[in-house]
Structure 1
Amino acid sequence: MRVLVSGASLAGPTLAYWLTRRGHDVTIVERAARPREGGSPIDVRGAAVDVADRMGLLPAISAARVRTEAIEYVDGRGRRKASIHPEAYAEPGGRDIEVERGALVNLLYDATKNDTEYRFEESIATLAQDAGGVDVTFVRGGPERFDLVVGADGTHSIVRRLVFGEESRFLRHLGLYVSIVSVDPALGTENRGVMYNSPGRLAGVYRYRGKADAVFMFRSPELSYDHHDLHQQKKLLSDVYSGEGWQVPALLDAVAAADDLYFDAVNQVHMSTWSRGRVTLVGDAGYCASPLSGMGTTLAMVGAAALAEALESGEDALARYEQAHRPLVTKAQASVSRGAGMLVPATSGAIWRRDQFTKLLPMLLAGRRLVGR
């Protein structure tokens, strides 16, 4: 088949890897000028580790591993209130690998660039399908025809909008907004995440491999703002965090000076089907579980592998893909309720309870392990 994939982040290149090895002709279009490397470290978990292993990428992913020593919660004066090792939240017996997002994106790109046609600074303009294929027009290039089109273009997917309708039909707001921006590593502690909370707000610094990211997350109903207006997003952050303690003023200075930052609602994507005719979705475009799940990378890589495998079955391939992958998606999307309470407690009392629970968690887990023996 001739396959068009929209999006060159994680799901798109993973899918291209498997499809090209099955003899398909794959083109990936990406609005950015290069693979999307930005963002904080991410987790390769569970079945995604097996996918990476089968791709031959596991040694390189392990070499790029980020070894977080602790997550610390501090008060407004920077005094540590509680600390926990991130393994406390890992799946029992799991093989979680925390890795720089850019490192994983580049590994996937390098594994596919010789067999896949990448078109950067390009995007889909229109789609029109019939029983035999999909006619596509592009923002820059001329019209072309493909046997299959795959949207791997994230929560705000162009492919999903063109084929299934406006994103408001599928996005479920979880009552939070998140922003990430690179900051001076001197503001953080190597291999540690340091978090400060006030009711309904989190600000933190995560330093790894000599780099550092500031993370902001706050509770809010849906906001009306221009997704492409950087100045407006900066003002939103400044207004929400005005007057906060700890290092927040310095982090807001970094926001003001940044020429780019990530800012978005914490959403999930819920769809009754991910496929329509010869168009399907993979990763966040079809089933975003939100950053609170810690499963975005896993869903993208496992979903891409499941789609490629289903396409080998021929008849009802897209239905087989959904049947195989939906149980993992459902589990991941159901896991987020605890994450919001731990990261962004809504009240002072909830912050205190979170801190006490964090102190007790290592003992609770040790007791569970003893009982398990």
Structure 2
Amino acid sequence: MAELSAGQVSSGTSVPWWRDERKRAVIWQALVIAALVAAVAFIIVNMISNLGRLGIPLGFDFLSSPAGFAISFSTMPITLESHIGRLIIVGIFNTLLASAISIVLSTVLGFLIGIMRLSRNYLVSRLAVIYIEAFRNVPVLVQLLFWYIAIVKLFPKVRQAMNIGDLMFLSNRGTYVPRPVPQDDFGIVFIVLLIGIAIAVGLKRWATKRQMETGQLFPAISVGLAIVVTLPVLASLIFGNPVAWELPALKGFNFQGGLVLQPELTTLVIGLSVCTGAYIAEIVRGGIIAISHGQTEAALALGLKSTWTLRLVIIPQALRVIVPPLTSQYLNIAKNTTLAGAVGYMRQPTLTAQPN
């Protein structure tokens, strides 16, 4: 007997379309898609008509218009006449810079506090708990405002700036440090630096392979850092000074020359690093606890030191648990950089129309 189709019954009669589940599903999907298309079309038509009524052209021509405002901190030179498109690019680079610095600092701080949380020393463990509970239960925006007020109010004014060896000046307008100016031989020193990094990476791989084969440890990290630092220094001594330093100096009402770390950037980095570090500390603690205690006992039974046990046995296994939520915290840092508007709101005067 021939097989019956889904749209037929045993008597050979067809099932009405309103009773066929597959046909009803297709119809409902088509209706939903049609409703979405109609809603989007209504929004677009309404937007075009409103823009036409206001005399605003539809397109991206506004990106080439002068912004009329500046940003308190910028990784690129901008003025009040800079185009809106350039300011958007500046905002992207500012976000990347603040996120990168905060990610590094929060990771180091989070791993340190997370390990301290598991310490057998009561005082160290309690201090870690206080830090975690304090910063996890305070909104990020409140913390940013606190750090901003602390930095701006506690630091002296520009004319009374704190002088550190005539090289660094601290004031409520920012931290002024010497700015490196590359000279003619800087390219050679930079190539030597890359060679040193390559040697350090190769040394680390050799040390890892040697440890897997013989079990003997080699201080690859410390030796690699020494190579990375020593080779450029030797190249600088051989070829002369490839970098000249521009020192900041007080001229008029502000410092001129050098690099300045704006209070807004410092506030954002400190606030995000300290707050996110508390969350990362709990992630690290959970990852370490997830590893069986038998791993620690086995490592100690083999004669490994507690620091080696943590670095070579516990942390590598805990990373499988730590990395996924750690990635989410990194994404939160990038998203929370938008809160910089609360402490870095532009204070420069806007452009005004000039009389003809």
Q: Larger Cα Rg: Structure 1 or Structure 2?
A: 2
TM-score w.r.t. length of structure 2: 0.26
- Greater helix proportion: 2
